[in-house]
Amino acid sequence: MSLFATPTGVLNKLEGIRQRFLWGGSEGRKKIHWVFWDKIIVDKAKGGLGVGSIKSLNISLLVKWWWRLRSEPFSLWAKVITSIHKRHDKDDDCYSLKTLTEVKCFIWRAKMGRIPSAMALSKQGIILPSTTCCQCNLVEETSDHALIRCSFARKVMTWILKWCNITIVNFHTVNEVLDYASNWGNCPKKKKRLLGICYGTLWGIWKARNERLFNNQLMCALKVVNIIQSITFLWFRHRGDGGGLNWTKWNVLPFNSLQWFFLYLF
């Protein structure tokens, strides 16, 4: 189940089984169950039972597999998986759209500082062996530190800004980055693209942090930049303005295919 997006029909059936188990099963009251079910699957912090939906579990597992496949392309398991499934562009597209959903949710939480950084967890009373940032080992890990101020995050962001041909800006908070991207330049399409790239960057930095913290995997900044470039390329290939987007041009400058549009403005 974890390597493929589970069809909606199957997901609904699985949810149905779980619901019947929890409620003791009564077809006639299905509608009422669904109302309750929505509340049951949400986070405990939001007043739910924290059971989680099977669909979001499936999406999060897909994202994990995609990330590992990208970050360890030469490992034996990645080669085996790739040769068995002969990964095509279509699969990539599927992974990337699932990721986009996860990333949007992640950014929404990061904007409010509600991601599980060491300090955030510690403030909630969770005792951790250390609240120091696992990437630089220098200061306490807040969400703005992990995503923006940490030397590792800065390195990734610097590469990304260089790739976008933007003068390096010294950001301090997640909101600063998002505000900058939302107000950048005159072309709405370019603005949207930069914002998407910033989304991908913050998510990539967080993923690398998790790899280090939970899997003891040290990822170099350039590798993370590469993953960000791939995932954002796949996102924009789907969009209406993504026509003619090709990987080589994308790697040189992510706004390349929008140049013609820019010319019309002046």
Q: Does 156 bind Zn ion (CB under 5 A)?
A: no
Q: Does 69 bind Zn ion (CB under 5 A)?
A: no
Choice from 58, 99, 117, 135 touching Zn ion (CB under 5 A)? 135
Q: Does 201 bind Zn ion (CB under 5 A)?
A: no
Q: Does 150 bind Zn ion (CB under 5 A)?
A: yes
Q: Does 133 bind Zn ion (CB under 5 A)?
A: yes
- CA distance to 19, 87, 168, 199, 206, per residue, from 38 (Å): 11, 35, 44, 28, 28
Q: Does 221 bind Zn ion (CB under 5 A)?
A: no
Q: Does 178 bind Zn ion (CB under 5 A)?
A: no
Contact 112, 45 (CB under 8 A): no
The closest alpha carbon to 156, from 65, 226, 55, belongs to: 226
> What separation, in Å, do the N-terminal and C-terminal C-alpha atoms of the chain show?
51
Contact 172, 148 (CB under 8 A): yes
CA dihedral angle for residue 70, residue 73, residue 76, residue 78, rounded to 10 degrees: 40
* Nearest distance, CB of residue 133 and Zn ion, angstroms: 3
- Specify the 3-state DSSP secondary structure of 150: coil
Residue range at the interface with Zn ion (CB under 5 A); choices 47-55, 62-70, 136-144, 227-235: 136-144
Considering beta carbons, is residue 96 or 143 the nearer one to Zn ion?
A: 143
- Specify the 3-state DSSP secondary structure of 26: coil
Choice from 136, 187, 195, 213 touching Zn ion (CB under 5 A)? 136
Residue range at the interface with Zn ion (CB under 5 A); choices 21-29, 129-137, 201-209, 243-251: 129-137
Considering beta carbons, is residue 206 or 236 the nearer one to Zn ion?
A: 206
The closest alpha carbon to 235, from 39, 94, 49, belongs to: 94
Considering beta carbons, is residue 142 or 257 the nearer one to Zn ion?
A: 142
Residue range at the interface with Zn ion (CB under 5 A); choices 72-80, 100-108, 126-134, 194-202: 126-134
* Nearest distance, CB of residue 114 and Zn ion, angstroms: 19
Considering beta carbons, is residue 143 or 232 the nearer one to Zn ion?
A: 143
Separation between Cα atoms, residue 95 and residue 62, nearest integer Å:
7
Separation between Cα atoms, residue 127 and residue 99, nearest integer Å:
30
Q: List residues near Zn ion by CB under 5 A.
A: 133, 135-136, 150
